[in-house]
């Protein structure tokens, strides 16, 4: 199957023009819930720094007064210490030294144990939190991602409704999360082996969520095999296709993600859906559509009746043009 980046991007631009605001909304939801954006941190830090600056400016005079009072108190304390007996001072110093020795021996044991307990508790809490977040990802994010892919495919074909993003929850939900779980685990294990095999497998299984978007009941082994078969010979071109969007993402960062949200992310998502549609072929198209153009699909019985009506009397059907009889 031959395709070019220009062809896929042309499909994506046409789809974006047909259904712009819905596609932008769905793309933003994908970025937000799939970890593409982290909102609010910059604003909160900026507000905190401004409030600290105002408080420090208002309390400058009070700080000066407190410093002057502390200086006076320290001078009085020095005068009192000079009037005390040297023997008393020596005794106090010895007693303090002994107490410090005892405290130092005691503090060597207890803080070490407390530190180890704190580290173990922190590791356990972190592991529980990671497991909990991954369970949420499997149960919520995976089917949501399949719904996003279905919406993008429908947008490439013609027009799509926003309700398509819930498709993964309404159709074969258990099989969807099972297949996406196997897909995610396999890629993660290959990344643990080495980064290059991980990238290779990621592109090999790139079309898994798109296949589930049209065949959510397909067994996970068949989904993985179909994705590998469709991407056979196209992984390097798909990698270069993704690299071509890097300037758009850089521009999105420069513009505080404005270009990213309103153009770059929807554009790339539609291009990926166009790649799936191009590789999957006409057999994967929904009945009644062909690359966004409505067509009429006749049942077999109606098609036979139509052929009989157009057939001339005295003519028989033939398989080759050389067998066509002449009208006499």
The answer to whether residue 282 sits within a structural domain is yes
Asked whether residue 67 is assigned to any structural domain, the reply reads no
Write down the pLDDT at residue 47: 40
- Flag whether 215 is in a domain: yes
| Parent domain of 28 | 5-36+136-294
Does residue 25 register a pLDDT over 70? yes
Predicted pLDDT at 297: 41
C-alpha radius of gyration, the chain, whole number: 35
pLDDT for 115: 83
Give the per-residue pLDDT at 64.
56
Neighbouring-strand partners of residue 293:
290
pLDDT tens-digit readout, 64-91? 554 555 555 555 554 545 555 444 444 4
Question: What's the total number of domains in the chain?
Answer: 1
Residue 139: predicted pLDDT: 94
Q: Is the pTM of this model over 0.75?
A: no
Sequence-distant (≥ 6) Cβ neighbours of residue 249 within 8 angstroms: 260, 264
Q: How confident is the prediction for the chain on average, in pLDDT?
A: 75
Residue 206 lies in a domain: yes
* pLDDT-wise least confident of 64-78, 161-175, 249-263: 64-78
The CA distances from residue 71 to 27, 56, 64, 84, 289, in Å, are: 63, 21, 11, 21, 87
- 288 neighbors 158 (Cβ within 8 angstroms): no
Question: What is d(CA 108, CA 101) in angstroms, rounded to the nearest whole number?
Answer: 11
Average pLDDT over residues 229-235: 94
Percentage of residues in the chain having pLDDT higher than 70:
62
- 236 inside domain: yes
User: Please, which pLDDT band fits residue 304 given cuts at 50, 70 and 90?
Assistant: low
Average pLDDT for 299-303:
48
Q: Is the residue at 17 inside a domain?
A: yes
Is residue 103 situated within a structural domain?
A: no
d(CA 69, CA 47): 33
Inside any domain, residue 212: yes
What is the band of 117 on the pLDDT scale with cuts at 50, 70, 90?
Answer: confident
Between CA 135 and CA 170 the distance in angstroms is 19
Highest mean pLDDT pick, 39-43, 98-102, 290-294: 98-102
CB 299 within 8 A of CB 283: no
């Amino acid at each position: 199957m031959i395709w070019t980046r220009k062809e896929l991007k042309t499909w994506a631009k046409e789809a974006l023009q047909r259904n712009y605001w819905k596609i932008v909304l769905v793309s933003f939801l994908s970025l937000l819930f799939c970890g593409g954006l982290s909102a609010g941190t910059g604003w909160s830090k900026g507000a905190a720094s401004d409030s600290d600056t105002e408080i420090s400016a208002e309390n400058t005079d009070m700080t000066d007064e407190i410093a002057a009072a502390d200086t006076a108190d320290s001078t009085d304390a020095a005068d009192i210490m000079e009037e005390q007996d040297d023997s008393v001072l020596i005794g106090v110093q010895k007693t303090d030294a002994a107490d410090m020795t005892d405290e130092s021996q005691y503090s060597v044991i207890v803080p070490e144990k407390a530190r180890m307990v704190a580290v173990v508790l922190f590791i356990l809490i972190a592991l529980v939190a990671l497991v909990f977040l991954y369970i949420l990802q499997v149960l919520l994010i995976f089917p949501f991602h399949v719904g996003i892919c279905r919406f993008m495919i429908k947008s490439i074909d013609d027009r799509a409704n926003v309700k398509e993003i819930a498709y993964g929850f309404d159709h074969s939900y258990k099989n969807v999360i099972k297949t996406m779980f196997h897909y995610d685990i396999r890629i993660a294990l290959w990344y643990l082996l080495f980064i290059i095999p991980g990238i290779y497998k990621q592109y090999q299984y790139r079309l898994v969520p798109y296949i589930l978007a049209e065949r959510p009941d397909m067994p996970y082994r068949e989904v993985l095999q179909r994705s590998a078969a469709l991407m056979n010979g196209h992984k390097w071109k798909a990698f270069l296709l993704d690299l071509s969007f890097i300037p758009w993402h850089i521009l999105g960062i420069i513009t505080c993600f404005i270009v990213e949200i309103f153009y770059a992310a929807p554009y790339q998502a539609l291009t990926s859906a166009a790649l799936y549609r191009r590789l999957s072929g006409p057999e994967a198209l929904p009945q009644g559509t062909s690359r966004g153009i409505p067509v009429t699909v006749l049942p077999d019985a109606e098609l036979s009746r139509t052929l009989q009506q157009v057939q001339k009397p005295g003519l028989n059907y033939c398989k080759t043009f050389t067998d066509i009889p002449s009208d006499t």
